Amino acid sequence: MSQMDRVVIIGAGLAGLAAARRLKAAGYDVLVLDKGRRIGGRISTRRADGYLFNHGAQFVTARSTEFSEICLSAEQTGKMALWDIGRKAPCFSGTPDMRGLAEMLGDGLNIIQQCEISDIAVIDAQFQLTDTKAQHYQARHLLVTSPAPQTARLVRPLSDEAASIAEQARYHPCWTVMAGFATPCDGLDQIASLSGGHIASATAERARPGASGLTQSLTLQANEAFSAEWLEAPDTDSIIRMLMAEFGRISELTLPEADYLSAHRWRYAKVEQPVDAQSKRLFDVGAASGYLGIAGDWHPVSADIRPATGQRAEEAFLSGHSLAEALISTR
Ligand SMILES: Cc1cc2nc3c(=O)[nH]c(=O)nc-3n(C[C@H](O)[C@H](O)[C@H](O)COP(=O)(O)OP(=O)(O)OC[C@H]3O[C@@H](n4cnc5c(N)ncnc54)[C@H](O)[C@@H]3O)c2cc1C
């Protein structure tokens, strides 16, 4: 493998990790750069004050062969387990942290976290990336897997076509509330993926497989209408108050006072409008010797015969995987 086959991938979410694994297996020299503190993007787990919250994706479904293999391997290594929450497709949860899936996918990859790319140029036929700490990274090929609005901004100086494709996608926001309880709460641990009123999903983290040792905690995700209406709320206290009250109403539980309370605003949570299914993924950028590629849940690949919606992590994984296949086929 020549040094010229270095690929830099922006994003260590499922799309970036899927692409990185496939390219590494094909012999490319792969470097993944991610602005987050931890691997996984929206497959995310927060630990705070002795509590655990899966505040991004609640579970993953596996319909395709590629992603089913990944989930089965996560199951065999104890990172995930089947979780029966009454859905048709097999649902897998982390045991209990969802981020375990991303950690498994990232194992053996060269990944730099807390590296936010702010500028990209082509210099001497190579992509040159600059992060917010003024560090530079060079590569022959560049794959960008950040959410669509961020991707559009990053790739605009390289390719109007790629940026215009990314600009077609739209996201729903999501307000998430996390509550931890030092005083035991009867009935809470049976709550899994409960919905109603403003709440799209309420889950007691102890309801997950492998989670019985956790301290009692609750993760609430608001529905799209509520999240859009309150997206720019100046303080999180009112969001917490409204969603905790709504949970009390739909669950009919009397909660003790929470020992830990926090809210997280996902500006880009689930895809509302993916890009057209026929849109290009790989671009020949004039001055560069290699290719620019784009992937992510907003440029999804369907897991079965139904059209992709971009609403499931599996489709983000398949998007990254198929971008890697496209790059390999240019050799
Ligand atoms: C609240 C919520 C609930 C969800 N529930 C489910 C569910 O139950 N089931 C399901 O299947 N899916 C669910 N999803 C959707 C699923 O999480 C996503 O579709 C999937 O994880 C997206 O993966 P991705 O790799 O495309 O993007 P991401 O996971 O967003 O990864 C993109 C990465 O790019 C990085 N990045 C962005 N800009 C830069 C930059 N300039 N420089 C460096 N790095 C950068 C980010 O740090 C991030 O890690 C949910 C999502 C949310 C937010």
Q: What is the pLDDT of residue 90?
A: 87
CA 19 to chain centre: 14
Pairing verdict, β 260-273 and 170-180? antiparallel
Give 287 Cα–ligand 1 centroid separation in angstroms: 31
Q: Provide block-wise average pLDDT over 10 residues at a time, the chain (331 residues).
A: 78 98 98 98 98 98 95 96 91 97 98 98 97 98 98 97 98 98 96 97 98 97 98 96 98 97 98 96 94 98 95 98 98 91
Atom of ligand 1 nearest to the CA of 61: 11
Judge if the upstream peptide bond of residue 149 is cis by omega within 30 degrees of 0: no
Residue identifier of the C-alpha nearest atom 32 of ligand 1: 146
Q: Name which of 6, 44, 67, 45 is nearest 319 in CA terms.
A: 67
Residue identifier of the C-alpha nearest atom 53 of ligand 1: 269
Tokens of 145: 């897997």
Q: What is the pLDDT of residue 166?
A: 98
Q: Give the contacts of 191 (CB within 8 A, at least 6 positions apart).
A: 202, 203, 204, 207, 218, 251, 253
Indicate the burial class of 295 (C-beta count within 10 angstroms; 0-12, 13-18, 19 or more).
buried
Q: Which residue has the tokens 């979780």?
A: 83
pTM of this prediction exceeds 0.85: yes
**Calpha distance 166→148 (Å, rounded):** 5
Q: What is the pLDDT of residue 1?
A: 46
Fold of the domain built from segment(s) 171-271: Polyamine Oxidase; Chain A, domain 2 (3.90.660)
Atom of ligand 1 nearest to the CA of 59: 8
Q: Name which of 293, 326, 331, 290 is nearest 126 in CA terms.
A: 290
> Which run of H or of E encompasses 163?
helix 160-166
For domain 3-45+60-169+274-328, say whether CATH 3.50.50.60 is its number: yes
3-state DSSP assignment of residue 79: coil
Give 13 Cα–ligand 1 centroid separation in angstroms: 6
Beta strands in 55-135 (DSSP E): 60-61, 80-82, 91-94, 111-112, 117-123, 126-131
- The residues of the chain that CATH labels 3.50.50.60 are 3-45+60-169+274-328
Atom of ligand 1 nearest to the CA of 131: 42
Q: What is the pLDDT of residue 87?
A: 87
Backbone phi, psi, residue 130, to 5°: -125, 135
**Calpha distance 89→314 (Å, rounded):** 12
Q: What is the pLDDT of residue 286?
A: 82
- The residues of the chain that CATH labels 3.90.660.10 are 171-271
Give 98 Cα–ligand 1 centroid separation in angstroms: 12
The torsion defined by the Cα of 229, 270, 170 and 278, in degrees rounded to 10, comes to: -160
- What is the identity of the amino acid at 45? T
Atom of ligand 1 nearest to the CA of 266: 53
- What is the identity of the amino acid at 38? R
- Cα 244 to Cα 114, 218, 247: the distances in Å are 32, 10, 5
The answer to whether residues 21 and 48 touch, using CB atoms and an 8 Å cutoff, is: no
Q: Name which of 91, 98, 81, 93 is nearest 44 in CA terms.
A: 98
**Calpha distance 178→269 (Å, rounded):** 16
Residues with CB under 6 A from ligand 1: 10-16, 33-36, 41-43, 56-61, 116-117, 145-147, 150, 174, 176, 221, 266, 269-270, 296-297, 312-313, 316
3-state DSSP assignment of residue 95: coil
Atom of ligand 1 nearest to the CA of 320: 25
